[in-house]
Amino acid sequence: MNKLFLLIALLIVLVLSVSCNQYVSHEKNLQSDENIVKANGTVIYIELEGGFFGIIADDGSKYKPINLTESFQKDGLKVRFEGKLNTELMGIYMWGKLIEITKIKER
């Protein structure tokens, strides 16, 4: 009887842990999808606190790329970009949302 009870209890714990893990994975996927940005914009040079490059999307949103390659660091360059917002880092510039660029091309 004790072995049967123990087996049932372990089975319940296993089912609950798998269910919770799937829920957490689903929540992470939802959050990461919400953090994906695809937009057209213009690269600009901001002379604030030593200067940096940002992107102003056509809808007016401001993005501070954390990995903008040198070939795209041109003031006034029109681009199409995709990236993931980085909500874990904090920037020193207090300008725009931090974004890790995954795709970018001149338009």
47-91 confidence digits (pLDDT tens): 988 899 999 999 999 999 999 999 999 999 999 999 999 877 777
Q: What total number of domains does the chain contain?
A: 2
The reply to whether 83 and 54 lie within a common domain is yes
Kindly provide the residue ranges of all beta strands, DSSP E only, lying in 66-96, ordered along the sequence.
78-85
CA distance 89 to 96: 13
CATH code where residue 42 lies: 2.40.50.500
Model-level pTM? 0.67
The reply to whether 66 and 44 lie within a common domain is yes
The reply to whether 25 and 41 lie within a common domain is no
* Nearest alpha-carbon partner for 92 in 61, 57, 48: 48
CB distance 95 to 48 below 8 Å = yes
pLDDT tens sequence across 31-58 = 457 899 999 999 999 998 889 999 999 9
Evaluated on CA atoms 106, 85, 88, 44, the torsion sign reads positive
